[in-house]
Amino acid sequence: DNMNKFLKGLLCGGMNGLFGSGGGIAAVPLLEKLGIEPKKSHATSVIIIFFLSIAATIGYCAGGSIDFQTAFSYIPAGLAGAVMGTVLLKKIDNSVLRRIFGVIMLISAVRMITG
């Protein structure tokens, strides 16, 4: 079981390093497979991705790959959106949450495929 969690964590961390916070796309379904209910899976994914993002940020900073001016310009609205998402998560039914997450994943997939 610990090896299973390790491999899933490795997958999420690898995706986070490659795709930014895209590791959440893997983390949420993996957490649900472990038996964690959807809302807790989404919330738990956020804290996992937070720490994975710190590690990835350190790596990208070391390589000089970050445009800080652009990054900082998104932070105020991003923080407001995060608070809004947290409030909405408490109010949304699990079945609706799964559908929204699925639609976002499909839209992302189509955008990635069509480039």
pLDDT digits (tens, 9 = 90+) for 18-74: 777 667 788 888 888 888 999 999 899 888 888 888 988 999 999 999 999 999 999
Q: What pLDDT, on the 0 to 100 scale, is given for residue 80? A: 94
The whole-angstrom separation of Cα 51 and Cα 101 is 22
Q: What pLDDT, on the 0 to 100 scale, is given for residue 17? A: 75
pLDDT tens for 64-107 read 999 999 999 999 999 999 999 999 999 999 999 989 989 988 99
Please give the sequence-ordered ranges of beta strands (E in DSSP) within 33-114, or none if there are none.
Answer: none
